[in-house]
Amino acid sequence: MISYKKAFIYMIVILVNVFLIGNCHPRPHEKQAILSNERPNILWLVTEDMGAYIPPFGDSTIQTPNLSRLVQEGVIYPNLYSTSGVCAPSRAAIVTGMYPSSIGANHMRTNSNMDNTGLPAYEAVPPPQVKMISELLRVEGYYCTNNYKEDYQFKAPQTAWDESSKYAHWRNRSDNQPFFSVFNFTETHESGLFEPYGHRHIETRHYHAGDTSYTWKPGRMTEVKTPVHLSKNTKFPIPPYLPDTDVVRNDMWKLYNNISEMDRQVGAILNQLEKDGLLENTIIMFYGDHGGPLPRQKRLVYDSGLNTPMIIRFPNKVNSGTIDDQLISFIDFAPSLLSLVGIDPLDYMQGQAFLGDYKSKEERQYIHAAADRFDGVTDVIRAVRDDRFKYIKNYRPEQPYYLPIVYRERIPTMQELLRLRDEGQLDSIQRQWFRGSKPVEELFDCKLDPHELNNLAQHPAHKEKLEELKNEMTRWLVEIDDEPNLSERDLINRLWSNKTTQPVTSSPIIRILDGKVEIYCSTEGASISYRKITPKSTQQDSWSIYTDPISIPSNDDDYILAQSHRIGYKPSKKVKVAVRELK
């Protein structure tokens, strides 16, 4: 049985094919070449707190001309799921290809809320062989930029990016060098619902490439369509777990207008790419960092907190106007990125490639997610979902679902919910989130019950499905070495090997070996960055990744500057050695 939402999505795609495409296209799993022999550029357009609120995914409340263009020329992926309903753990999964709860990245911001937890700031510590996906691509010759949010639950090594700042751009690379560029859009973030509300200031960003200066004014370029801001009288689709009041409708008005602003900025980036003549050798990927920003969405493991829309445009519009409805997890991004550039995904990655030369032979059967500490409040929840049903295990059933998170309570809708709760004016559906306790197990039919309101865990008719998903969760927890009831203090002890302070990466040793400069670090898994310092060097020069011995600079007054850094450890001190000292 097809849900109304999915049926609507299919109807949109059919109309696009008939009226805009004009011919038939194979589905992505059919063998149509995506790329030429050249290595593709990769462009990620990442927005925040993004549910399926846009026309290509069944919600026609707001117009998104630039995202709709991507859909006309690309592929819709309606079944992408984050590993967490909040950003930092999710981004850890994206850049490593590993589940946050397997590397100590599952608590929201490991370096914050220390006053509430009484714990020291720490970082996730993945196995020593783990590298950020951007570093792996840099080793392969890609120019990698991030503009500009990081938030990975660990400090990114200098080897991670050629540039990571609000000025980072593919235009700063060498001629014809392939690039991997990430642009992050904050307009749709939860904080965009706070009061006082106003469209955020959009700054002018300047980019430099050689002797040419470029200016980007997001949303102000004449080629980019002006966003359509909605009237407050618009009839907004209010989910049943929120009350239909003036306050909630006003927040929905903000939500959709924020999406419109984000769409305009997406258009500015696409315009730059096309002006640079790079459109047809670039794989463009749009997605959100988890589900929606509203109460009972963000931070939860319901689909409203995990599911986020994804659109991929392949060069020459390959497979345009199609839907790929396979299950995809954020941990699949890193292996898929390697696969797309012709590299076999690494063994430590817990995800699987859903695209490229090394695409998995079998599509994903389950996605998994977790919820732990959010700011100063902790819960412990694990979830597994197949293409229809979701099983949730609550490890702290004595706690209510609702957690008093100060940041979230700045949203007027959250304040409205609390007011109506205290006045006894919420209906039975809206009261569910405020129950004083939770069942240990929950089972939802996400097709018939997309808001996950009717717990089927005790229904005899669903006993077999409950056992299947329960067994899958047990298998998953063992496989990734996740102990849900492990306290955060004990987690830190494990990450730091029972030491009282964060481990520090050993300093690099720079020496001459067989007529070459060799740089060595005794810390297993450490990445080594280096720079050759000459009179012409500037602070803006990228750090190179050390992989093999390098030639000795000819000028005795030049220097080699190096630093070692294993993810999750503190970086080493920088070591500076004059060339004359090496000879």
Nearest residue to 346 via CA among 140, 56, 572:
140
Cα torsion 566, 568, 574, 577 to 10°: value is: -10
CB atoms within 10 A of CB 435: 11
Q: Helix count (H) and strand count (E) of the chain?
A: 14, 22
Identity (one letter) of the amino acid at 389?
F
Burial class (CB in 10 A: 0-12, 13-18, 19+), 377: middle
Query: Where in the sequence numbering do the catalytic residues fall?
Result: 87
Query: Residue 317: left if φ>0, alpha if ψ -120 to 50, beta else—which one?
Result: left
Task: For residue 31, report the phi and psi dihedrals to the nearest 5 degrees.
Answer: -80, 85
CA-closest candidate to residue 136, choices 443, 567, 483:
567
C-alpha Rg value of the chain to the nearest Å: 24
What does the block give as tokens for 493? 């002890």
Element at 43 (helix H, strand E)? strand 41-47
**Helix segments in 97-193, DSSP class H:** 100-103, 114-117, 133-139
**Strand arrangement of the beta sheet that strand 389-394 belongs to:** 367-374, 377-385, 389-394, 441-445
Query: Helix 65-73 crosses helix 246-275 at what angle (to 10 degrees)?
Result: 60
Query: What does residue 575 show for φ and ψ, rounded to 5 degrees?
Result: -110, 130
| Identity of residue 233 | N
CA dist 79 and 81 (Å) reads: 6
Phi/psi at 421 (5° precision): -60, -50
- On whether the CB atoms of residues 351 and 102 are closer than 8 A, the answer is no
3-state secondary structure (DSSP) of residue 285:
strand
Residue with tokens 């100063």, as numbered in its chain: 376
> Which residue pairs, CB below 8 angstroms and at least 24 apart, start in 548-554?
549/513, 549/514, 549/516, 549/517, 549/518, 550/516, 550/517, 550/519, 551/516, 551/517, 552/512, 552/515, 552/516, 552/517, 552/579, 552/582, 552/583, 553/579
- The rounded distance, in Å, linking the Cα atoms of 153 and 90 is 9
How many whole angstroms from its chain centre is CA 221? 27
C-alpha–C-alpha distance, residues 514 and 510, integer Å: 13
Q: What does the DSSP 8-state code read for residue 375?
A: T
